[in-house]
Copies of this chain bind each other. A is one copy, B any other.
Amino acid sequence: MAKRITVAVDANGADLGPSEVAAGAAVAAARGTRVLIFGPAQEIGEVPDGVEVVDAPVSIAKASDSARAARSTPESSIVQAAKAVACGDADALVSGGSTGTALAAGLFNIRRAAGIYRPALAIPMPIPGSPALLLDVGANVEVRSEYLVQFAFMGVAFSRAVLGIACPRVGLLSNGSEPTKGTPLVIEAHNQLSTLMAGAPDLEFIGNIEGNDVTAGVADVVVMDGFTGNVTLKVMEGSLATMLKAIGDVSKGSLRDRAGGLLLAPGIRELRDELDPETTGGAYMLGLRRLGVVTHGRFTRRGFARAIELAERGVREDLVGRTHAALEAAGALRSSPSGDGSSVDA
């Protein structure tokens, strides 16, 4: 029988409160995952089977200076959860709090994996008919071309191990499809990826892609710096929400429109569910010694259960080991030690 996998979960920071996180943990526990919850025991109340609670009432989920809070508040639930992962008491981290705080706590405690320049935040976008993994979506506002190269390999490993895509197609986001298009940084990354990915048997570097390609299903992994990634992600979310609202407004027009809207409502609800970020579990912190997931504050138990499930899958499929092996095979590991990595921006 396979080793039982333990996921450490920070229950502070969720909009619906720690008990909703615990309810999600119960779902994951029922599927066989061991879950360690760090949060206010009093608010969690009755502990579901298969779930253990470590009382950690202090929350830094809304700290304005997340890096500083993560360093100076060892008693906080997120730092305790991250330490549990760092010490081997748990195999992966799930956070219900802010992205910046989770990233800082992960970086200081779990630390970067050997040979990694910078961790990245990856989001699987549930685009109808053409899901795509976007990274970096905000951990690194400024990057170097070799970071982008590592992000590409990290994304490929995640896409394969966790999302089950056998031969991911990798695109580099730019302002034109020609290799000469983009900032000097993007052009340099394009050249490096062309060379390094040419020999890899189980992926395909399709070169530069443009903004409209992101939702068009041409790439499984889309690589960019964290500033562009944050903008891209949010423009996409905003555009999809605006369109859903506009369609809703159309359905409130004439009698004919209202009748049509009523008939189409179940179909549109399905589409809305398909676009729901809860189905993908959240944002994944790649490049640490262990996998971390940051859920969205407004998630329900369904989203937390999904995050724990995908974190468990990442551990079972040895995402971290496979990422390292792929980077090593491509010669894209950082050769010297990497300092304390305190420059993550999110």
**Is the CB of A261 closer than 8 A to any CB of chain B?**
yes
Which residues of B have CB within 8 Å of A212? 234-235, 237-238, 241
**Is the CB of A167 closer than 8 A to any CB of chain B?**
no
**Is the CB of A17 closer than 8 A to any CB of chain B?**
no
**Is the CB of A138 closer than 8 A to any CB of chain B?**
yes
Number of residues from A at the complex interface, CB < 8 A: 63
B260 touches A142 (CB 8 A): no
Selected from B182, B214, B216, B230, the residue in CB contact (under 8 A) with A175 is B230
Closest to A130 in B: B242
A141 touches B230 (CB 8 A): no
Main SS of the interface on chain A?
helix
Which residues of B have CB within 8 Å of A244? 243
A175 touches B260 (CB 8 A): no
Selected from B173, B249, B256, B267, the residue in CB contact (under 8 A) with A231 is B173
**Is the CB of A74 closer than 8 A to any CB of chain B?**
no
**Is the CB of A321 closer than 8 A to any CB of chain B?**
no
Interface CB pairs A-B, < 8 A, 21: A128-B249, A138-B175, A142-B183, A175-B230, A182-B227, A211-B231, A211-B237, A211-B238, A212-B234, A212-B235, A215-B239, A215-B242, A224-B231, A227-B228, A228-B228, A231-B231, A259-B260, A259-B263, A260-B264, A260-B267, A264-B264
Selected from B182, B232, B242, the residue in CB contact (under 8 A) with A235 is B232
The CA-CA distance from A180 to B64 in the complex, in Å, is 11
Which residues of B have CB within 8 Å of A246? 128-129, 271
Interface string of A127-140 (1 = CB under 8 A from B): 11110000000100
B247 touches A257 (CB 8 A): no
Interface contacts beyond A210-B230, A211-B237, A227-B228: sample of 12 additional A-B pairs, CB < 8 Å, sorted by A: A141-B175, A141-B182, A174-B231, A175-B227, A212-B241, A213-B234, A213-B238, A232-B232, A250-B264, A250-B270, A253-B267, A260-B264
